[in-house]
Structure 1
Amino acid sequence: MSGMYPFRRGLVKEPSAKRIQKVCSKSINSFCPVSPWFLLPLSPFSCITSFRLVFGSVIGKFFAPLYLRKIKLIRWPVKHVDHELDEKVPFRSDTVKCYMDFINIWIRPLNMLLHRYGWLQGSRHCAEFMRYLIKTYTYALKIYRHCMTTTYRTPCDQKQVKKLRAADPHYCCVPSLHISIVCLCFSFYKMLFDRENFTFMEKQRWNWELYSRAVEIGETVLYLKQHSVNCIPAALYMLTRLAPELFTASDAVRFVNDLFQKAEDVAEKDKVEIRSHIIFMYERFLLEGTTEDDWTLPITRWLDAYEAYTPSYAK
């Protein structure tokens, strides 16, 4: 059982029918993304995990290396990973709000769990998800230590985009934590809903909501030029290796094939090329990784050999 659920710590008491009735008709998007920040550090079941996630992982393994590299207190190499297919996706500043929702996409479901199970019992499930997040940041840092990565970004004076770029030194592109986290989110909850016997209505509504939002956010990383098409397969490969019990190759291929399905600003032939490239690179990493004890080697070898494309909007 521990192999199937490596971050599960004890059993959670089933919620009352009254609690289920209160939340089952709500959308995930309707749950407040603020209160979990205050409630989870107060629970004995999620207190330590909450602090490890925020200070040890988000700050210690992501923002600290970013800013230390920016002010040159660490000298990790930085390399561009742009690809010619990046130019096939137009720059769209209007997608910045969706892009930034990658934080709330995993916080809102935590609040849903707190409402459905109650503060103490719900915090057990929340802690299980946060342990996966900690592992995700830990895995990503292994690549960043080898080589930090960046992309060229289209010049833009839009206020929200300027704020985003001012806050983000933009040195952690491969693997894309945006992609890894949104895919981890829908994969984890799909497992949890089945394991904990959520109602059919809950599973049907919430699985689709989390998955479709993940796809939308996945598209924005290319629309905003925050990532290249090369960043996505590395993220999917990393997630497949760190959580094979949640995220499989078929999940990765499905996710990629759903990118830009409804987009009218990307040509159909370009959509096919973009998806084909991402899937090819993902399968290449996956195949090479089967013969290696160190999962990072397929990505680091590719990074060492890659010669980046310089897009027309580069400055």
Structure 2
Amino acid sequence: MKEENLKYKFKIKNAKKPSQKKIKKTLGRTLKSFNVLYAYAMFIFHWTGLKYFAVFILNVIQKFFIVQYLEKFHIIHIPVKRVDHKLDSKIPFKPEFAQCYLDFVNYWIRPMCMTMKRYGSFEGIKLSAEYVRYMIMLYKEAYKIYSHCLTTTVRPKPTTKATKGIQFWDPHYLCVPSLHIAIVVLTIGFYKMLFEREEFTEPEKDQWNSELYTHGIEIAESVLYMKQHSVNCISAAIYMVTKTAPELLTEEMSIDFIDSMFKDSIYVEKTDSKEITSYIKKMYKNLMEESRNSDDWTSPLKEWLKNYKIQAQN
């Protein structure tokens, strides 16, 4: 029982298995075909969903938005460090990826819509709330780094309405670790686990795992095309999730994800993409190796941040 609690540490209640009729209604549907507004409605009007969603929103406000704006308006003074890397210049600025970048929120909401449609709202909300609890954990863990040291990168001058909006509303002080990337790999790992545990059909697992992975890679690449993050931010984010949710994201899964980035890119040269992913993997592996000597996952990353200032000056 203890082993199961560790494996499913945020599980709330068992969801009643759906009828074949309900399964058939969602079978074959793409995740993008589910209306995200349905999930918002269910979280607002269902107590199990509301209590966790409210905590999640509160954490996003406190540990993501407020800390950045307090720094921007000089109300607090946390050290801010640049985390750019020379490899970032090998990834072109592509404003046309703004829509993909902004689709990141819908990316993790759509699977919740799917589960609520497949199980029915009152059963599906249990599984969705389990996922939201992981999200709460992720923001709390990331804040351990943000409150220690804020990080930023140089962004090019915006050339489109979308990029202007992104850069205007984003103070850009929370680069390491990237929550964009962390949530993508968490989502991939969570639903891979969920589909197995809840005994989804093979066609469902194949289709939805593939969709989450493919679009997750697209979003991961978009954060670099949009110059919202550095290659360093990718390694740090994947490392954070591997350490804080090892039951969802293994080292092997992490390496596979990194290797999949820019694999089919028409914007990054093959030799450059290999150099980029090799660097991301090396940094990730170094952090993992150093973490084996510490009970605190943040220690290796804090040490990296302390030393990176020296590296950036060379």
- Superposed pair shares fold, TM > 0.5: yes
Match of 1:313 in 2: none
Find the residue that maps to 2:81 and give its secondary structure. Answer: strand
Aligned-pair CA distance for 1:309: 4.7
Alignment of 1:17-96 (within 5 A): 17-55=20-58, 57-96=59-98
Equivalent position amino acid for 2:227 in 1: K
Equivalent position amino acid for 1:117 in 2: Y
Find the residue that maps to 2:224 and give its secondary structure. Answer: helix
Deviation readout 1:253-312 (Å, 9 max, x if unpaired): 0011000111122111111110110000000000000110111011111101113659xx
Deviation readout 1:145-183 (Å, 9 max, x if unpaired): 110000001112200000011110000000000000011
**Which runs of 5 or more residues in structure 2 are unaligned?**
none
For the residues of structure 2 that align with 1:74 and 1:54, how far apart are their CA atoms? 22
Alignment of 1:189-204 (within 5 A): 189-204=191-206
Equivalent position amino acid for 1:12 in 2: A
Aligned-pair CA distance for 1:212: 0.5
- Asked if 1 retains the 8 angstrom alpha-carbon contact of 2:81 and 2:149, the reply is yes
Deviation readout 1:9-42 (Å, 9 max, x if unpaired): 1211001111100001100111011221221122
- Asked if 2 retains the 8 angstrom alpha-carbon contact of 1:84 and 1:309, the reply is no
Match of 2:6 in 1: 3
Match of 2:265 in 1: 263
Structure 1 residue 226 and structure 2 residue 234: aligned? Answer: no
For the residues of structure 1 that align with 2:52 and 2:77, how far apart are their CA atoms? 30
Deviation readout 1:213-242 (Å, 9 max, x if unpaired): 000001011111100000011001100011
Stretch moving more, 273-282 or 42-51: 42-51
For the residues of structure 1 that align with 2:14 and 2:76, how far apart are their CA atoms? 43
Match of 2:16 in 1: 13
For the residues of structure 1 that align with 2:265 and 2:202, how far apart are their CA atoms? 30
Corresponding residue to 2:282 among 266, 280, 283: 280
Aligned-pair CA distance for 1:121: 0.5
For the residues of structure 1 that align with 2:44 and 2:14, how far apart are their CA atoms? 20
**Which runs of 5 or more residues in structure 1 are unaligned?**
311-315
Equivalent position amino acid for 1:59 in 2: I
For the residues of structure 1 that align with 2:35 and 2:71, how far apart are their CA atoms? 34
- Asked if 2 retains the 8 angstrom alpha-carbon contact of 1:110 and 1:126, the reply is yes
Find the residue that maps to 2:48 and give its secondary structure. Answer: coil
Structure 1 stretches of 4+ moved >6 Å = none
For the residues of structure 2 that align with 1:199 and 1:238, how far apart are their CA atoms? 31
Find the residue that maps to 1:149 and give its secondary structure. Answer: strand
For the residues of structure 1 that align with 2:48 and 2:5, how far apart are their CA atoms? 18
Match of 2:207 in 1: 205
Equivalent position amino acid for 1:23 in 2: T
Corresponding residue to 2:187 among 181, 185, 188: 185
**Taking every aligned residue pair, what percent have the same amino acid on both sides?**
44
- Asked if 2 retains the 8 angstrom alpha-carbon contact of 1:4 and 1:245, the reply is yes
- Asked if 1 retains the 8 angstrom alpha-carbon contact of 2:150 and 2:174, the reply is yes
Structure 1 residue 144 and structure 2 residue 149: aligned? Answer: no
Equivalent position amino acid for 2:50 in 1: C
Deviation readout 1:168-203 (Å, 9 max, x if unpaired): 000000000000001111110000000001011110
Alignment of 1:109-188 (within 5 A): 109-188=111-190
- Asked if 2 retains the 8 angstrom alpha-carbon contact of 1:33 and 1:104, the reply is yes
- Asked if 2 retains the 8 angstrom alpha-carbon contact of 1:78 and 1:148, the reply is yes
- Asked if 1 retains the 8 angstrom alpha-carbon contact of 2:95 and 2:159, the reply is no
Equivalent position amino acid for 2:218 in 1: E
Find the residue that maps to 2:151 and give its secondary structure. Answer: strand
Equivalent position amino acid for 1:232 in 2: I
For the residues of structure 2 that align with 1:32 and 1:66, how far apart are their CA atoms? 31
- Over aligned residues, Cα RMSD in angstroms? 1.0
Equivalent position amino acid for 1:26 in 2: R
Greater helix proportion: 2
Match of 1:214 in 2: 216
Corresponding residue to 1:238 among 237, 240, 247: 240
